[in-house]
Amino acid sequence: RKYFQRLLNDSDVEDSACIEFNIGRVFYFEGEWDKARDYYNSAYNRMTKSKPASTKDSAWVLNNIGITLYTQGLYDESLIYHQRALEIREKFYSSGHADIVASLNNIGFTLYKQGKYDEALAYNRRALEIYEQLHPSGHADIAWSLDSIGLTLYKQEKYSETLDYYRRALKIRERRYPSGDVDIATILNNIGSTLRRLNRNGEALNFYQRALEIREKLYPSGHPESVSSLKKMGITLLNQGKYEEALDCHRRALEMLEKLYPSGHPDIASSVNKMDVVLPNEVT
């Protein structure tokens, strides 16, 4: 930040906008979002008032203001900035440009947070179409886009469609990372949750177990994601009437949480409560 500040003091007006933009980025990554927005706003004003105006580059600033507002939970304002960025990008770039896809995704995420799932899907699907034109089949961006659509469909309780998108995303990721990675574990977990919603508990359990195996390899000393898998396995086993196995999963989750967090942590209390649900059934 000090480096950029020195540059700003010594720069001409044309360079100042770029430097202020980068100072804003530094503040954003430091979690000082209001300061980040101050510098972004100043950079935007310089760009639009310069002769000639740097309209195309200003889309980057609008995009980052939108991201900052999104991070602050100010979704209505965030959406306005992302839409303005998209409008500029569509004027200056061809329809398949990466910056246009970025804006489409950002608008989709923001609409998702607002609970406007139909609108979010429309933007996510436009982004997917462009990714499929830009990249060969099996590209990571396509998997990521498929996963985003799956999340939105899940919120709409369209579980059969959700499964289709998750499975397509999983197929791509498993080709790229055959030994497993964090994202594969997440998709496996999401497929498990979707199958559970469809009352396909046996299949759901299988996906939760696969997710747990990857997570335990990645985090041998324990991790909240491993706890999540164990809890979901416990719920699924309870649904199947396998009370002893369900209790074992919840006990393992509790033991892991007690190593990860201090006593009194809310996640520990939640885990104890889940065991209380299982115990009466086991005793009966």
Q: Which pLDDT score, from 0 to 100, does residue 136 have? A: 80
Task: Provide mean pLDDT across the span 246-266.
Answer: 83
In a domain, 198, yes or no: yes
- Whether residue 63 contacts residue 50, with contact meaning beta carbons closer than 8 Å, is answered with no
Instruction: Give the whole-angstrom CA distance, residue 46 versus residue 9.
Output: 15
In a domain, 244, yes or no: yes
Q: Which pLDDT score, from 0 to 100, does residue 269 have? A: 53
Task: Provide mean pLDDT across the span 191-209.
Answer: 97
Domain encompassing residue 188: 177-284
Q: Which pLDDT score, from 0 to 100, does residue 135 have? A: 87
Q: Which pLDDT score, from 0 to 100, does residue 275 have? A: 47
Residue 180, SS3 per DSSP: coil
Nearby residues of 5 by Cβ (< 8 Å), 6 or more positions away: 23
Q: Which pLDDT score, from 0 to 100, does residue 266 have? A: 64
Task: Provide mean pLDDT across the span 21-48.
Answer: 94
In a domain, 22, yes or no: no
Q: Which pLDDT score, from 0 to 100, does residue 6 have? A: 56
Residue 72 has pLDDT above 50, yes or no: yes
Residue 283 has pLDDT above 50, yes or no: no
Nearby residues of 34 by Cβ (< 8 Å), 6 or more positions away: none
Q: Which pLDDT score, from 0 to 100, does residue 3 have? A: 52
Q: What is the mean pLDDT of the chain?
A: 89
In a domain, 282, yes or no: yes
Residue 134, SS3 per DSSP: helix
In a domain, 271, yes or no: yes
- CATH code of residue 246: 1.25.40.10
Looking at the 3D structure of the chain, how many domains does it have? 1
Q: Which pLDDT score, from 0 to 100, does residue 39 have? A: 95
Supply the Cα-derived Rg of the chain in whole angstroms. 23
Please give the share of the chain, as a percent, with pLDDT higher than 90: 74
Dihedral class, residue 242 (left if φ above 0, else alpha if ψ from -120 to 50, else beta): beta
Please give the share of the chain, as a percent, with pLDDT higher than 70: 87
Q: Which pLDDT score, from 0 to 100, does residue 201 have? A: 97
Residue 54 has pLDDT above 50, yes or no: yes
Cβ of 248: how many Cβ atoms within 10 Å? 16
In a domain, 153, yes or no: no
Band of residue 5 on the pLDDT scale cut at 50, 70, 90: low
The mean-pLDDT minimum among 2-6, 49-53, 74-78, 219-223 falls in: 2-6
The mean-pLDDT minimum among 4-13, 26-35, 65-74 falls in: 4-13
Residue 86 has pLDDT above 80, yes or no: yes
Q: Which pLDDT score, from 0 to 100, does residue 95 have? A: 85
The mean-pLDDT minimum among 6-10, 213-217, 274-278 falls in: 274-278
DSSP 51: S
In a domain, 186, yes or no: yes
Instruction: Give the whole-angstrom CA distance, residue 109 versus residue 151.
Output: 10
- Whether residue 149 contacts residue 124, with contact meaning beta carbons closer than 8 Å, is answered with yes
Q: Which pLDDT score, from 0 to 100, does residue 178 have? A: 85
User: Chain centroid to CA 23: how far?
Assistant: 25
Q: Which pLDDT score, from 0 to 100, does residue 263 have? A: 66
**Mean pLDDT comparison of 13-17, 143-147, 173-177, 250-254, highest-scoring range:** 143-147
Task: Provide mean pLDDT across the span 143-169.
Answer: 97
The label of the residue with tokens 């961006």 reads: 141
In a domain, 79, yes or no: no
